[in-house]
A and B are shown apart, each in its own frame.
Chain A
């Protein structure tokens, strides 16, 4: 099979990014077939939220999604790579367990999430009130590492659910994936938004630009999606996203309208206002309710998933706002000028 290996590599997969430290350099070398995996001790010493660990972990996880151009797809299950991935996961998850303040129960966590501030200070508020097109382009580029995978890692939880929780989770996923219509898959709607903003729409193009806090948000959902032991936290994570999405999307839809970003850009967030108002109800009552009926001992995990999601989203929001308020780009490298898009 090895003589055919090049043919197996997906040429449409994204390119490998540049390394951001010793850990990511080691993982990338292994992915290129150029070296042994980095030692697990590097993971134990790394900043759990920093660029080096987050990029290395992101690259390990990407093998489970679309892979990278020129990288052997069999590395997805390479024991040596999985060993270093596990060390990074332990570092990241250990930090979250220590740093995230958790609510007492699901009810109190939901109650806080659904209470809207009259005036907020996060990125969606800034974008609504005073964001310029350059801010919206940066925001969309760094969010693309998330939205172009939208609902993908949540599908991994399906075999681990049963009864009401499973049926409801599938309904929401069906809606996320366009209700059977390719042109309405939410990840596709986001690609259309990117086109309106003059961004490249190919999967993974902006990984290179994305700062650690944006990667951490994606790594959390991959981590929770891939581990059956963390299924309660995955459900909690999904609930937190759906509960907070609708009001945030409303602000972003207003931002798109005010700046004249384009019809697809408006439509993406308008669709999320409506869709996520439904998903929120279904996830809270049917998915969480159904899961805890079957497995009541998972409540602490559900709460952890919700609170860890908010914790990492807040870190990303703080990063973005600190950069913009200082007049710097929030991305690691500047975006090229808008590309002209045909259709």
Chain B
């Protein structure tokens, strides 16, 4: 039951999330936020890694530091 809310949120009284569940924040606009450390396998087979506490993954594909967000998604005036 992948959509069962009990599998997505910790049970009451537990102090932390299950070790295997990592929550990813996916906003409508802007980068996807993932708790680090992460390894990102790119199309050409290379792996980008970061041990930051959280990483911002580019979703607009405009980043010059892809796969990491460099705020290139922002509106310009």
Interface of A toward B, CB cutoff 8 Å: 114-118, 171, 174-175, 179, 246-247, 250, 270, 273-275, 277-278, 280-282
Contact with A along B11-40 (1 / 0, CB 8 A): 000000000000000000011010000000
Cβ-defined contact, B74 with A115, below 8 A: yes
Cβ-defined contact, A277 with B68, below 8 A: yes
Contacts of B77 in A (CB 8 A): 115-118
Contact with A along B28-64 (1 / 0, CB 8 A): 0011010000000000000000111111100000001
CA distance A145 to B71 in the complex (A): 27
Inter-chain residue pair count (beta carbon < 8 A): 62
Cβ-defined contact, A115 with B53, below 8 A: no
Contacts of B64 in A (CB 8 A): 250
**Total interface residues in chain B, CB < 8 Å:** 20
Cβ-defined contact, B54 with A246, below 8 A: no
CA distance A116 to B50 in the complex (A): 27
- A278-B54 contact, Cβ under 8 Å, with A115-B76, A116-B76, A117-B76: yes
CA distance A277 to B68 in the complex (A): 9
Contacts of B71 in A (CB 8 A): 114, 116, 246-247, 250, 273, 277, 280
- A281-B52 contact, Cβ under 8 Å, with A274-B68, A274-B70: no
A13 to chain B, nearest CB (A): 32
Contacts of B54 in A (CB 8 A): 171, 278, 282
- Closest B-chain residue to A111, C-beta based? B75
B30 to chain A, nearest CB (A): 7
Cβ-defined contact, A171 with B53, below 8 A: yes
A185 to chain B, nearest CB (A): 14
- Closest B-chain residue to A172, C-beta based? B53
CA distance A270 to B65 in the complex (A): 9
Contacts of A275 in B (CB 8 A): 52
Contacts of A273 in B (CB 8 A): 65, 70-71
Contacts of A118 in B (CB 8 A): 76-77
Cβ-defined contact, A281 with B31, below 8 A: yes
A35 to chain B, nearest CB (A): 48
Cβ-defined contact, B56 with A114, below 8 A: no
CA distance A275 to B68 in the complex (A): 9
Contact of B74 among A114, A179, A274, A278 (CB under 8 A): A114
Additional 9 contacts, C-beta under 8 A, given A115-B74, A278-B56: A117-B77, A118-B77, A250-B64, A250-B70, A277-B56, A277-B71, A278-B52, A280-B71, A281-B33
